[in-house]
Amino acid sequence: MIKQTLILASTSPFRQQLLEKINVPFQCISPNIDETPLADETAEMLVQRLSIAKARAVALPHGNCLVIGGDQVAVINGKIIGKPHNFDNAFAQLKQASGQTITFYSGLCLYNSATNTHQVVVEPFKVHFRALSDAMISGYLHSEQPYQCAGSFKSEGLGIALFSRLEGKDPNALVGLPLITLIEMLNNEGIEVLEHQ
């Protein structure tokens, strides 16, 4: 039996769906923190800082809990790209990504409120894009409308057709929650996922 409450510091439906895969009971609580990048902060530094901040923000008002904090950014040609929010921005992002490689950095923190300790990693994942025509980009965007997704695609959907190759430890990291690493972190806290099935 898991003694501590497991909390996902996120309201992202994508992260919730991923966490449900490992079949461990959890709650979702929004962290409500300022996610503005600091001056001269690299992508890796940003996602690490925000992952810890989200986990701590949710853990503080709760007692004996383990809190999962996560954050993700995409980087193309050294520049952080965010969520496009609309067709025009998404079109521009995919046009820029055509034939290029985008690196996604996923920050993951597991915070133990009982011991006031945390584990944190930043996991890179590379997406190699096919050469995309304007018609391909428009067709994809009208079909899937990925306007709330960093990089302007959903890899778990039709977005897979945009890629020539994926490169990384865990394909779940691309969706926003590196499960392989999370399972290792839970194990370090004495939770063996397979023993709780």
71 included as an active-site residue: yes
Instruction: Check residue 116 and give left, alpha or beta (phi > 0: left; psi -120 to 50: alpha).
Output: left
Element (H, E) at 179: helix 179-188
The CA radius of gyration of the chain, in Å to the nearest whole number, is 17
Widest pairwise Cα distance in the chain: 54
Contact criterion met (CB below 8 Å) for 15 and 35: no
Which three-class secondary structure string do you get for 88-139?
HHHHHHHHHHCCCEEEEEEEEEEEECCCCEEEEEEEEEEEEECCCCHHHHHH
Which residues pair with residue 104 across a beta bridge? 74, 125
Q: Which of 34, 71, 88, 170 is catalytic?
A: 71
Residues with Cβ within 8 Å of 21's Cβ and at least 6 positions away in sequence, in order, are 172, 179
User: What is the amino acid identity at position 196?
Assistant: H
Element (H, E) at 82: none
Q: Which residues are catalytic?
A: 71
